Structure 1
Amino acid sequence: MTDVVDVTVVGSGPNGLVAAVVAARAGLSVRVFEAASSVGGGVRSAGLTLPGFLHDVCSAVHPAALASPVFRRLGLLDRIEWIVPEASYAHPLDGGRAGVAWRDLDRTVDGLGADGRAWRRLIAPLLARQRGVVSFTGSQLLQLPRDPIAALRFGLRALEQGTRRWDARFSRDVAPAMFTGVVAHAAGGMPSLASAGAGLLLAMHAHGVGWGFPKGGSQQIADTLANELISLGGRIITDAPVSSLDQVRGSRAVLLDTAPELLLGAELPGRYRRALRRYRYGSGVAKVDFALEGPVPWANAEVGLAPTVHLGGSREEIAAAENAVRAGLQPGVDDAAPRHPYVLATQPTVVDPSRAPAGKHVLWAYTHVPAGSTLDATELVTREVERFAPGFRDLVLASASRTAVEIGAQNANYVGGDIYAGELSMRQFVKRPVVSTKPWRTPLEGVYLCSSATPPGPAVHGMNGWWAAKLALKERFGIE
């Protein structure tokens, strides 16, 4: 691993591949080391259950990708066949009721009845300045926003939905449950400013660019970036884990699409080392993939039109479930844990039948668990789906589960099963992993961090890799 190249990238997740492509487009020699046998990190797809059934290994739906300025700049949006459904997500409730976030905001407002106008007032002002919102949330909090009005609108709504005032806007139960299901993606306590901010961005995308995903699986994102890199002369070396920076000597710049842990093995200034040791990881996930005989038999038929479904019930039920996990309680195991967990489910075959044999379906689902959990969530998730889709159990042909510990073992970035590579809190939006106007730069000469452990945080948008590569090219090669 000591041959001389201009840029070495460790990790082939979307951020690492974006960083590599940016460097290669600048005319530099680039190599990428990937520990797994295939590229992609969190955007891989594989046959996890039965022959002919294709599952996304980690991330499945990608609103941030469709809104990503760097993906647009790299032409990624034009080279992948994206499926953007009419229904971004659905949220079933007991009694056969459900809320649906249609991409058409007016249709969503009509379906929410008495809370429809409140939903419009929450989302529409952000949609009117969505480029400004994406710019604000896609950089870092220490920078002045390019669109102060967008930042102000976003901040005021995060302040409302991230505090105990979060119920002041709504009078019924469907709209707040819908929003809480989106907020729960952030795997944090509720209410909280950081989780509310993440939820607002996703909710805005639901009525803007949409909650789209690549036809044929998330692997399409990684493969398209990898092919671009190879066409530019870059090299990708798989089955090549890097456990020490000594393994990647000989490059003028090294970009790490990894958790900060890799840096702790190097000679670091005491202050930076202490900052890394104070960096906190969040809750883990326990994931289950199902091969199904037919579509999920939702009690509310409209839920079957949305590729993404949030399970867990009312706002109060979801908040209780997420706060219990944050307190270290195992859902379905500890007596003090709420009966119903929050479950994030994706049924891609309702709009992409290429993922399964004719007439068959796949279901991707995970629930949050304490970091390092060994819980097999198969039965827990099955029961929660059955709550809103009686008869689901009878359709299961096969399933494959991964505990939080196994997820962390299969991808070193997901410490303890934390797929976000770091807790999502206001403290760690500013300190990710250190407080700096250039947090991608490390104290080690020529070494930069470009993973989700840097601003602007997790999601498949490639912005972390873009900012880190841009900084490295300027500082190490004089390339603007």
Structure 2
Amino acid sequence: MADVAVVGSGPNGLAAAVVMARAGLAVRVYEASEALGGGARTAELLEPGHVYDVCSAVHPMALASHFFRDFGLEQRVELRLPKVQYGTPLDGGRAALAYRSLERTIDGLGQDGRAFGRLMRPLVEHVEGMLDVSQNQLLRMPADPLAAVRLGLATLSQGGPWWNRRFAGDAAPALLTGVAAHAIGRLPSLVPAGAGLMLSTLAHVGGWPVPVGGSGAIVDAMVRDIEAHGGVFETGVRVRSLEELRPARAVLLDVAPPELLGIAGAALEGASGARYRRTLEAFRFGNAACKVDFILSGPVPWAARELRDAGTVHVGGTRAEMAAAENEVAAGRHPSRPYVLVAQPSVVDPGRAPAGRHILWSYCHVPRNSTVDMASAVMDRIETFAPGFRDVVVGWKTTTAAGLAAYNPNYVGGDFGAGLMDVRGLLRRPVLSANPWRTPLRGVYLCSSSTPPGPGVTGMPGYHAARHALKDVFGLQLPELGL
């Protein structure tokens, strides 16, 4: 008999299960797939011996997450940093490069190095206050109000049509825009700017690490901890009703709002329940991604050779070119020259492929529900900055936006962020509340990326939901989470 039922075994569901099991409660985790991990699974997608991350691949937020810090992730999983944290190729064999050292990054940006430093140095110096803002519900007083103001002003400077005012060249703007474009949305705008600045800051603090063996190593570490504290897993089980989870006293749902409606909709009666149901029905999802995984016979032949040491490469050209591609997607069109986010795990983890081979992880943004295979456009875009790229391609696998949605019900329409990331989407995620993880149903909590702080392998939505469930249902405090 379980005290706690967790539905969904993505990083957030597992984080909730870790907290509850560590508190001494009997925990049972239900997963619709035969494999655990959700957006952090690792698998052989093309040929045996070639190991890919099915969704997330590089993890700056895992090092920064309050949950993973308390959990001692760095002691449980080997995380390797590339020599270059990320980079953006430009014409003429040039590249803008972000190193772990902020000063080295500034030195490499030429005429705009000082301007980049003036933007980034205050954020790096006050990163803990920024993390407090970015990892919690926004409707609260930040622990470091000055850090929140600094982040807000920096976001404003990069979130509007004046975003180029401080720069004279193209390298620094392209470096910043490549990161901002992680958040699918129109450029320039506030949420991509803020998310990009946060991720850029982390490159100069903990770095952008790659887990040895793949993102599944993070999942495995959490699963081992849950099982060590008595937790039980049931895979291949699709929960369709709260009745199936009785007599659990607390239910934590790592699902998107439509799935929550399917599971708990019948119980949402009365004024507060009906109002919550309407809010869930109106929840907005963003645009999507088309993912292309490659087997290569050698490293990517980047014209800017420094990019061969980069864990992540943002392929899209100048700031203006990347903005044009992203704004095409925002308008519901498939860009002919897309922004392509590339991860090169083999740079730091050569065991991902047999000797002499490399794997390459990539995606570009597309309109929601797209069934278009963007592999050719992705290869063309990489080839622009890596002449001869097609010659080293041995094979590839495309997962369209519709394929992502079929893989994970939380990715509605292929939106791997589980909800539109704009200002309204940050504040109403899924409801405007000081406790958006709590539903109107006694003991039922939402803990997916559709709740604050949103997408990313942080475990924080699960951590927050579990923290409230412990107090509300069981009258317990947070347990110790470390080794």
Q: Shorter-chain-normalised TM-score: which range? A: over 0.9
Residue 445 of structure 1: which of 442, 447, 464 is its match? 442
Name the residue aligned to 1:335.
Answer: none
Amino acid at match of 1:451: S
Name the residue aligned to 1:326.
Answer: 330
| Correspondence 1:420 to 2:417 | yes
Q: Please give the TM-score of this superposition, normalised by the length of structure 1.
A: 0.97
Name the residue aligned to 1:288.
Answer: 292
Q: Please give the TM-score of this superposition, normalised by the length of structure 2.
A: 0.96
Name the residue aligned to 1:8.
Answer: 5
Which secondary structure does the structure 2 equivalent of 1:439 belong to?
coil
Residue 301 of structure 1: which of 302, 305, 324 is its match? 305
Gaps of 5+ in 2: 478-483
Name the residue aligned to 2:481.
Answer: none
Residue 246 of structure 1: which of 243, 257, 266 is its match? 243
Cα deviation for residue 85 of structure 1 reads: 1.9
Name the residue aligned to 2:274.
Answer: 270
Cα deviation for residue 77 of structure 1 reads: 2.0
Residue 191 of structure 1: which of 188, 193, 208 is its match? 188
- Per-residue CA shift, 1:299-340, capped at 9, x if unaligned? 1100111010001111111111111101111223xxxxxxx1
Cα deviation for residue 391 of structure 1 reads: 0.7
Residues 76 and 225 in structure 1, CA contact (< 8 A), matched pair in contact too: no
Which secondary structure does the structure 1 equivalent of 2:363 belong to?
strand
Name the residue aligned to 2:17.
Answer: 20
% of aligned pairs identical? 56
Amino acid at match of 1:323: N
Distance 2:83 2:396 in 1: 28
| Correspondence 1:478 to 2:475 | yes
Distance 1:321 1:42 in 2: 25
State the superposition RMSD in angstroms: 0.9
Amino acid at match of 1:270: A
Amino acid at match of 1:298: W
Residue 91 of structure 1: which of 71, 88, 106 is its match? 88
Q: Which moved more, 1:78-87 or 1:410-419?
A: 78-87
Which secondary structure does the structure 2 equivalent of 1:58 belong to?
coil
Kindly report which structure 2 residues correspond to 1:38-53, keeping only aligned pairs within 5 A, or say none.
38-53=35-50
Residue 131 of structure 2: which of 115, 129, 134 is its match? 134
Residues 86 and 104 in structure 1, CA contact (< 8 A), matched pair in contact too: no
Instruction: Count how many residue pairs are aligned between Structure 1 and Structure 2.
Output: 470
Distance 1:97 1:245 in 2: 56
Residue 356 of structure 2: which of 336, 355, 359 is its match? 359
Which secondary structure does the structure 1 equivalent of 2:181 belong to?
helix
- Per-residue CA shift, 1:320-376, capped at 9, x if unaligned? 1111101111223xxxxxxx1110000110111010111210000000000000011
Distance 2:348 2:466 in 1: 36
Name the residue aligned to 1:103.
Answer: 100
Amino acid at match of 1:331: P
Which secondary structure does the structure 1 equivalent of 2:69 belong to?
helix
Residues 244 and 262 in structure 1, CA contact (< 8 A), matched pair in contact too: no
Cα deviation for residue 122 of structure 1 reads: 1.0
Q: Which moved more, 1:72-81 or 1:178-187?
A: 72-81
Gaps of 5+ in 1: 333-339
Distance 1:477 1:458 in 2: 28
Cα deviation for residue 222 of structure 1 reads: 0.3
Which secondary structure does the structure 1 equivalent of 2:417 belong to?
coil
Kindly report which structure 2 residues correspond to 1:226-245, keeping only aligned pairs within 5 A, or say none.
226-245=223-242
| Correspondence 1:62 to 2:94 | no
Cα deviation for residue 431 of structure 1 reads: 0.3
| Correspondence 1:381 to 2:385 | no
Amino acid at match of 2:295: A
Cα deviation for residue 246 of structure 1 reads: 2.9
- Per-residue CA shift, 1:391-447, capped at 9, x if unaligned? 111111111111100110110000000000001111011100000000000011211
Amino acid at match of 2:37: G
| Correspondence 1:372 to 2:398 | no
Which secondary structure does the structure 2 equivalent of 1:362 belong to?
strand
Q: Which moved more, 1:179-188 or 1:322-331?
A: 322-331
Distance 1:153 1:295 in 2: 40
| Correspondence 1:407 to 2:411 | no
Cα deviation for residue 243 of structure 1 reads: 2.9
Residues 257 and 281 in structure 2, CA contact (< 8 A), matched pair in contact too: no
Amino acid at match of 2:380: R
